[in-house]
């Protein structure tokens, strides 16, 4: 695992971004003129009530969706104008995903799940094997690589999911409620692991959460309400903006 290579500018740059959904004649604005910068090596929590737009913002930053207006630049790529295929290639190279429900492929073993994003890289089988083993070592599940998801506990599944997220050594890790489906002990394990990824491996992390305890692991917490940024707490610098 290497340190990020975006020292010259922010990893995430969100400029005047709006996101609207149209249903019949109704226009629903989910994000209003959002502006945001995230430096390399940052760990940011996105908080807010349901429907506040935090998951939408996360999806835009992760290149899963495109804004209705404004610009988003992540890891040097302008995502607002990129095509679906460009976004797919970009995600494979730069983003690791952690989901609330782990989203492991049930018919693949832990090893094969972690290997999945690596099959999109030019690495050969031997190189992929080394990467998978490193990733599973980091999450402490090297001895479970042949297990299928149904043979693992929720916490273990989430750790496999984290191994999958870091296998390609991405710059950015996005996590959508990573502890939302876990008990307290497992949540702590996962959050400790994420903190380690951020501090020891320099990964930039954006995490959506409802849980203040999870948010406390982040260096910075953004509060959203009705699609607007209402608070930005920089824990590292003990500074509250807005």
Partner 1 sequence: MIPLKYNIRSLRVRWATTLLTSLAIGVVVFASVLTFGMIDGIEHALRMSGDQEDLIVMRQGADSEMTSNVQPTVARELVNLQGVATSEDGSPMASREFITILLNPRRNGAGTTNVILRGLDPVGRQLRPHFKIVEGRDIEAGVNEAITTRAIAERFENLGLGESFLVNNVSFTVVGLFEADGSSAESEVWTDLRDLTTAQRYEGAISVVNLRVPDEEDRREIVDRVRGDEQFKLKVVPEVEFFEGQKSSTIAIKVVAYLIAGFLTIGAMFASANTMYAAVSSRGREIGTLRAVGFPRRAILMSFLLESLVLCLLGGVLGCLGTLPLNGLSGGTQNLVTFSEITFSFRFGPAVLLQGMTLALAMGLIGGILPAIRAIRLEITNALRER
Q: What does the binding site for partner 1 look like in residue numbers (CB under 8 A)?
A: 59, 62, 64-65, 84-85, 88-89, 91-93, 97, 99, 101, 103, 105-108, 112, 116-117, 119-120, 164
For partner 1, the closer of residues 90 and 217 by Cβ is: 90
Give 7 or 88: the residue with its C-beta nearer to partner 1: 88
- Determine the distance from the C-alpha atom of residue 86 to the mean position of all C-alpha atoms in its chain, rounded to a whole number: 19
How far is residue 211's CA from residue 85's CA, in Å, rounded to a whole number? Answer: 34
Query: Half-sphere exposure of 27 toward its Cβ, with a 13 Å CA cutoff?
Result: 7
d(CA 172, CA 156): 22
Q: Which is nearer to partner 1, 5 or 119 (CB)?
A: 119
SS3 56: helix
CB of 15: closest distance to partner 1 in angstroms?
21
Q: Indicate the residue among 97 and 217 with the shorter CB distance to partner 1.
A: 97
Q: How far is the CB of 104 from partner 1 (least distance, A)?
A: 8
Structure tokens at 60: 């835009």
Close Cβ partners of 53 (under 8 Å, ≥ 6 residues apart): 19, 30, 31, 34, 224, 226, 227, 228
Burial class (CB in 10 A: 0-12, 13-18, 19+), 176: buried
Q: By C-beta, is 17 or 219 nearer to partner 1?
A: 17
What are the DSSP calls for 103-119, one per residue? ---TTS-HHHHHHGGGG
**Residue closer to partner 1, measured from CB, 28 or 107:** 107
| Residues 161 and 197 sit within 8 Å (Cβ to Cβ) | no
Contact 98, 181 (CB under 8 A): no
Closest approach of partner 1 to the CB of residue 92, in Å: 3
d(CA 71, CA 157): 35
Q: Provide, rounded to whole angstroms, the least separation between the CB of residue 185 and partner 1.
A: 26
Nearer to partner 1, 206 or 217 (CB): 206
How far apart are CB 234 and partner 1 at their closest, in Å? 29
Least distance from partner 1 to the Cβ atom of residue 23, Å: 13
CB of 111 to partner 1, least distance (A): 12
């Amino acid at each position: 695992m290497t340190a990020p290579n975006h020292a010259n500018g922010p990893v995430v740059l969100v400029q005047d971004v709006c996101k609207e959904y149209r249903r019949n004649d109704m226009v629903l604005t989910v994000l209003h003129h959002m502006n945001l910068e995230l430096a390399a090596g940052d760990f940011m929590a996105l908080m807010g009530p349901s429907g506040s737009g935090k998951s939408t913002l996360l999806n835009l930053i992760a290149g899963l969706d495109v804004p209705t207006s404004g610009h988003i630049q992540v890891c040097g790529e302008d995502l607002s104008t990129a095509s679906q295929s460009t976004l797919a290639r970009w995600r494979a190279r730069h983003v690791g995903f952690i989901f609330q429900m782990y989203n492991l492929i049930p018919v693949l073993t832990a090893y094969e799940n972690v290997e999945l994003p690596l099959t999109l890289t030019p690495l050969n089988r031997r190189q992929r094997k080394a990467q998978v083993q490193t990733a599973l070592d980091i999450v402490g599940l090297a001895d479970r690589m042949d297990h299928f998801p149904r043979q693992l506990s929720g916490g273990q599944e989430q750790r496999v999911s984290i191994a999958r997220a870091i296998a390609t050594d991405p710059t950015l890790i996005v996590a959508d409620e990573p502890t939302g489906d876990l008990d307290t002990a497992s949540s702590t394990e996962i959050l400790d692991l994420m903190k380690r990824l951020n501090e020891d491996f320099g990964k930039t992390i954006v995490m959506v959460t409802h849980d203040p305890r999870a948010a406390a692991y982040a260096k910075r917490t953004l509060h959203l309400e009705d699609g607007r940024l209402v608070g930005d707490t920089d824990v590292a610098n003990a500074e509250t903006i807005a």
